[in-house]
Chain A
Amino acid sequence: MCKNNKNDASFLVDDIIVYGYKKDILFITDAERKKNYVFDLISLSKKEYGIISKKLPFVSNLYVIENIFFVLIYKYNISLSKCYEKFKNIIKWLKINDLLWVYKHELTDLELFKCMFLRALTIEPSIIFIDGISEEEFSLTMKILDFLDKDIFLWILAEKNDNFLLNNNSFKKIYLS
């Protein structure tokens, strides 16, 4: 385990390099300091990371499906039907078929998490960064990763009282103070 005392992204990078880049990592901090680290972690490398964070919410004037495939439609100019075809299996598995053509305010928290997870998957990431996660969402995440059967690593920013994460030994733990 590692402890650093400064709120600086460079320290995070050092820790990540020491402990290995492609690993499941748990960043642990307290609730007050958590928000300082979110942008640091998000800004490390946005090309390779899928990000699930309240700091990058769904856009309320777009449909859920447009939000999910935002990068593919905007950056790569791919049509929605082709995007849907590409991710049809995971959409069916997540049971979010009926939620695609609604706005985000019509979703529950868990449904929103599922959709945000799918948005993170669309860029075919090697790492998925999650900023705050509930126990239910965590178990769902593990099930999705089992279903996908790909080498995707999880970076989770957690609080000190998230015991369900702290008790999980499969993560490298980095304490941010």
Chain B
Amino acid sequence: MIEKLVINLGRIIISFFNIYIQLVLFLFKVGREINFSLINRLNFRILLRELYNNTVKNFLYVVFSGFIVGGFLINVILNILTNLNSYDRIGEFIVKSIFHLLSPFIVSIILLMRSAIRSMLEVAYLKNNQELNTYLFFDAIPEGSLFLPKILSFSISALILNFYFILFSLLGGYILLGFLHHITYENYIIQIVNYVGLFDIIRTSLKVVIISFFMALLSVKNGLYIYSLEINAIMKHIVNLSLITIFTFFLVMNFI
């Protein structure tokens, strides 16, 4: 009984880490096509379309969530800090909470829910309806002409959306603060600018790029593993994709 338990537990843990090994192998396979693929007109068109899908279509969600989260968070931080008589440290708290944690997390979640799942289902649909045959028949390698633009577009979109999230959350925070706490705009900006440095910007960008790259890679690879377009089979993969992405996000957070 105990032996079985240990074996099963071991198998689950090994298969979990096996996902990362498989992803690295898949990355090498896709990376091999990077030489010529983006020069090609068809691939470039696909890259632009994916950029539109991931950036423009998610833009409003990022703006709204930025406003609401920024407004709420900065209000809470300000209340705590004024109670502790540490108002002068508001810049540090805002940068740490928004730049380092909330912005990468919320942008990743929006990309996961709206783009990664769509991307996964698109690949599954192409595979199950034999449309990948068309690519192969015309000597177009799907790794270079379909998957690579998708994966690259995720990283670029995440970078752009992260920038806008930060911008609108700071704006949302100020608008709320301006009404509730009568703080001047100048004071608010000075507090943030005094603390924020190049390192913070690099750190937030790196986080969001790494996690979106991972998410895109996982969504494309999972899409290739969906053998049926029935809702049961799809849901299993959607849940897997979401859980592994969130787990990996917090793993990345610990290192960067």
Contact = CB atoms under 8 A, between A and B. Distances in A.
A59 B41 contact: no
Given A46-B137, A59-B135, A66-B45, A74 B126 contact: no
B42 A59 contact: no
Interface stretch (B66-74, B138-146, B160-168): B138-146
Contacts of A57: 129-131, 133-134
Nearest to B140: A74
Contacts of A99: none
B45 A58 contact: no
Interface string A69-87: 0110111011110000000
A57 B131 CA distance: 6
B134 to A, nearest CB: 5
A74 B129 CA distance: 21
Given A61-B122, A75-B139, A56 B41 contact: no
B136 to A, nearest CB: 10
Summarize B's interface: helix, strand, loop or mixed.
Answer: helix
A77 B145 CA distance: 13
Contacts of A60: 125-126, 129, 131
B138 A75 contact: yes
Question: Which secondary structure dominates chain A's binding surface?
Answer: loop
Nearest to B129: A57
Contacts of A79: 41
A66 B122 CA distance: 17
B187 interface: no
Contacts, number: 53
Contacts of B139: 74-75
A55 B130 contact: yes
Contacts of B130: 55, 57
A95 to B, nearest CB: 24
How many interface residues does chain A have, given as a range? 20 to 34
B40 interface: yes
A46 B137 CA distance: 8
Most chain-A CB neighbours within 10 Å: which of B40, B42, B45, B129?
A: B42
A46 B133 CA distance: 13
Contact of B40 (A56, A59, A74): A74
Nearest to A39: B133
Nearest to A57: B131
A60 B134 CA distance: 11
A70 B40 CA distance: 12
A53 to B, nearest CB: 10
B134 A58 contact: yes
Contacts of B40: 73-74, 77
B78 to A, nearest CB: 47
Contacts of B122: 61
Interface of B: 39-42, 45-46, 122, 125-126, 129-131, 133-135, 137-140, 145
Given A60-B129, A70-B134, A79-B41, 13 more contacts: A55-B130, A55-B133, A56-B137, A57-B133, A59-B135, A60-B131, A61-B126, A73-B42, A74-B40, A74-B41, A74-B138, A77-B39, A78-B41
14 contacts: A51-B137, A56-B134, A59-B126, A59-B134, A60-B131, A70-B134, A71-B138, A73-B41, A74-B41, A74-B139, A75-B138, A75-B139, A77-B40, A80-B41
